[in-house]
Amino acid sequence: MRVAVVILNWNTRDYLKRFIPGVLASLGKEDILYVADSGSSDGSIQTVESLFPQVRIISIGENLGFTGGYNYALSQIDAQYYLLLNSDIEVTDNWLEILSLWMETHPECGICAPKLHALDKVGENWQKTQRFEYAGAAGGYLDYFGYPYCRGRILSRVELDRGQYDTPSRVFWVSGAALMIRSSVWHNLGGFDERFFAHMEEIDLCWRAQSLGYQIWCVPQSLVYHIGGGTLPANSPFKLRLNFRNSLWMLKKNLPFAIGPVRARIRIFCRCMMDWGVALAYLIKGKKKYAESVAIAHKEVRKSSQMNFKGKYKIPPDGGLLIIKYLSRR
């Protein structure tokens, strides 16, 4: 098998019905589409089996989150490349072939991804837009304190796609909504860090891949449309908690190997102070639940002794010099 496209599903039957036909139409002769189900109760699997018998089903049985779900599913699949795809993605012609060809012709690339545009709900229909998708856009980076940002969106400002990012570019991370990775790289890294559950896990994966010498690329000739917040609402306090918690965990895991433990501790302390500033801003605006989410995230990080610069992941002797390019010079 060349490419295994894997959709991790938990109660998104309507998205599967709407978007699977386009994915199937884009598959090559050696590609297979899988739906890995995390114990859905909305009839998702019955619907897929009835409407799309060519789709292979992996039953996980329970919701292990984005991280645990994909780790389980990909352990069951033998393919040259894995394509992780959200259920709320609408694909375009040749999107998959473009990514596959890029991987085949760029052996230094461990992970690549398409450009993401937003998909808006208009009445009962979905409308494609020229606006970049909020969470992934055209690949991203980390700033000095480890906050992620992406090309096409800074903070809440989202750009229109006018071709400004149409050149394939090496980036620090790409969105897990549509991410292609060599299976050898996936298994060498041990997959996602399951302690994250969801959110930021793809940035952590990209960071660790670069630490092993692989490159991350956005290939904008490949385009998909993403609803964004389709599987977890963008204004969810739980989502905010995961983002703040996992971002700090990611820094504690990886930053010491990039810039040294002393500098890492100082930078992480500064980052924590900035997070508390955000929490205060939420309180001033009357958004108490959001402020509580930031506080809970920090409490979980403090209580988690497992995350103190340790992990079961492979870190090279050079400490991941590629990361210094993005973090230590800022």
**pLDDT of 322 strictly over 50:** no
Q: Is residue 213 part of a domain?
A: yes
- The answer to whether residues 52 and 172 belong to one domain is yes
Q: Is residue 118 part of a domain?
A: yes
Q: What is the pLDDT of residue 99?
A: 98
Q: What is the pLDDT of residue 123?
A: 82
Q: Is residue 232 part of a domain?
A: no
Judge whether 326 and 172 are in contact, CB under 8 Å: yes
For the stretch 183-192, pLDDT in tens is 999 999 999 9
Please report, for residues 98, 141, 286, 323, the alpha-carbon distance to residue 330 in angstroms, rounded to integers and kept in the order given.
33, 12, 34, 11
156: confidence class by pLDDT, cuts 50, 70, 90: confident
Q: What is the pLDDT of residue 228?
A: 74
What residue numbers bound the domain in which 113 lies? Answer: 3-226
How many domains would you assign to the chain?
2
- The answer to whether residues 104 and 143 belong to one domain is yes
- The answer to whether residues 138 and 216 belong to one domain is yes
- The answer to whether residues 29 and 162 belong to one domain is yes
For the stretch 70-95, pLDDT in tens is 999 999 999 999 999 999 999 999 99
| Range list of H helices, the chain | 13-26, 44-51, 65-74, 95-105, 183-189, 201-211, 237-259, 261-284, 288-303, 321-327
Q: Is residue 231 part of a domain?
A: no
- The answer to whether residues 289 and 178 belong to one domain is no
- The answer to whether residues 26 and 98 belong to one domain is yes
Question: Which of residues 235 and 261 earns the better pLDDT score?
Answer: 261
CATH of the domain at 58: 3.90.550.10
Percent of the chain at pLDDT > 90 equals 79
Task: Say which amino acid occupies 203.
Answer: I
Question: Which of residues 33 and 259 earns the better pLDDT score?
Answer: 33
Residue 15 makes CB contacts below 8 A (sequence gap 6+) with 87, 88, 227, 230
Ramachandran angles phi, psi of 251, nearest 5°: -65, -45
- The answer to whether residues 57 and 167 belong to one domain is yes
329: confidence class by pLDDT, cuts 50, 70, 90: very low
The mean pLDDT of 173-201, rounded to a whole number, is 95
- The answer to whether residues 209 and 259 belong to one domain is no
Q: Is residue 146 part of a domain?
A: yes
Q: Is residue 85 part of a domain?
A: yes
Distance CA 135, CA 113 (A): 13
Distance CA 10, CA 44 (A): 8
For the stretch 207-229, pLDDT in tens is 999 999 999 999 999 999 999 75
**pLDDT of 256 strictly over 80:** yes
- The answer to whether residues 209 and 299 belong to one domain is no
- The answer to whether residues 246 and 154 belong to one domain is no
Question: Which of residues 134 and 310 earns the better pLDDT score?
Answer: 134
Dihedral of CA atoms 238, 240, 242, 244 in degrees, nearest 10, equals -150
For the stretch 262-305, pLDDT in tens is 999 999 999 999 999 999 999 999 999 999 999 999 999 888 75
The mean pLDDT of 159-173, rounded to a whole number, is 97
Percent of the chain at pLDDT > 70 equals 90
Residue ending a domain, choose from 200, 226, 252: 226
Q: What is the DSSP string of 64-78?
A: -HHHHHHHHHHTT--
- The answer to whether residues 94 and 198 belong to one domain is yes
- The answer to whether residues 268 and 137 belong to one domain is no
pTM: 0.88
Q: What is the DSSP string of 311-325?
A: -SS---TT--HHHHH
The mean pLDDT of 1-24, rounded to a whole number, is 96
Q: What is the pLDDT of residue 308?
A: 43
